[in-house]
Amino acid sequence: MQNIDKITIAVVSLLLLVGFTFPFLVSDPGSEYSSKISKANEKIELNRDNQDFGDLSIPQVHNEVLSAYDISGEASIPEWAFYRKPARLDVLKRIIMIPPTIEPAYISGVQVIRDADSKATYHEITGRHSLFTNCEIASCALEMKTGDMDWAKVTNLSNFGSGAAFSIKANQLEVGREYSYRIVTKASTGPDQMAFPQDGSHQQESVATGSVLMPADMAWKVSGAQVGRLDSSGQFLPGRATIQYSSWEWDSGSSKKSAKVVTEPAAGEKGDDLFGTGFALERIQDTADGRVVVLRNSKGKRSYLKNNDVPLSLTPSGWDNFDSDPAESGGDEDESDETGSEPESVEESQPAKAKKKRPSGGGLFGGDDR
């Protein structure tokens, strides 16, 4: 009996000993999980401190969001701008975006003007300016061209409305040259307007005019020129020529012509004054280009006139544009469509066709349907 008690006491003591020492010998899973969570929190805190989110104030976020809706440019918005934050767009103002348009100017004609008051001759170019909408005129210039030369600017044009009429004077032109003209217009748009496409359509050039001569105020013509020679008897026959002089009369607004046969003066002598111009016949000679009559004035200035050469006209014609203005022709077509009466349709009377009689029989199986 005593042995059993001893064994029982020993077993209980052993169990108590194991119960007290087991927690110290075996690791606690909860403690391990707690340590891992603490380390993870520390790592999160460290990563958060190393991240740069920029300025998180309300104005910065507001500007970043609005920049995405800027129609004139592009913007890259960071992802954090929308992270757990509602986007807001305020309509500051409403703008109706209409594409800009511009059409070339139209030159109706070029006239040669002789002003009797100032005794000046110039070209007058008339027409209308470009038609434009939803844009502004950045520059407009009248350009001219003569011969094989490039286009050169004559004058700048400004302060005009869409399709406004113009009348431009082109002076300081070289006598005897022919000139062509055109209008070059460039447009631009403002910040609140839709821009032109990148195809050069913002610049328009009018159709170039025909060539118009810049006339002189006077002109010479020589015909029937003969050089001096010896006749059959050995006598010297001086040369002679028919000299025609044309001048512009400012009072009458027309040209005046005078002509006479002039004999070549003897050597060392001075010829008679021709038509009050101060020029006199000096000599008649043959050159590689043909027979030439030489005139000379009292100042020693010479003029070389080729025999039978056609002089410049003192009354040249201008240039008229026979192509109709696209703006006016378009309007006429619209009016004709609106106001013009349509041609009345002629109804032809046709003889009435006799009605076909319905057959009495003719059922599905050849019999009467009745």
Taking only the tens place, the pLDDT of each residue in 20-47 is 676 666 666 667 777 878 888 888 888 7
Q: Mean pLDDT over residues 309-334, rounded?
A: 81
d(CA 65, CA 58): 11
Q: What is the radius of gyration, based on Cα positions, of the chain?
A: 52
Burial class (CB in 10 A: 0-12, 13-18, 19+), 219: buried
Q: What is the pTM of this model?
A: 0.61
Residues in the chain: 370
d(CA 53, CA 62): 15
Would you say 179 and 173 are in contact if contact means Cβ atoms under 8 Å apart? yes
Indicate the pairing of strand 218-226 with strand 229-230. unpaired
How would residue 160 be classed by pLDDT, with cut points 50, 70 and 90? very high
Strand (E) positions, the chain?
Answer: 101-103, 106-115, 120-128, 131-133, 136-145, 152-156, 165-170, 178-188, 203-205, 212-213, 218-226, 229-230, 236-237, 240-249, 254-263, 279-287, 290-297, 302-306, 319-320
pLDDT digits (tens, 9 = 90+) for 192-218: 788 899 899 999 999 999 999 999 999
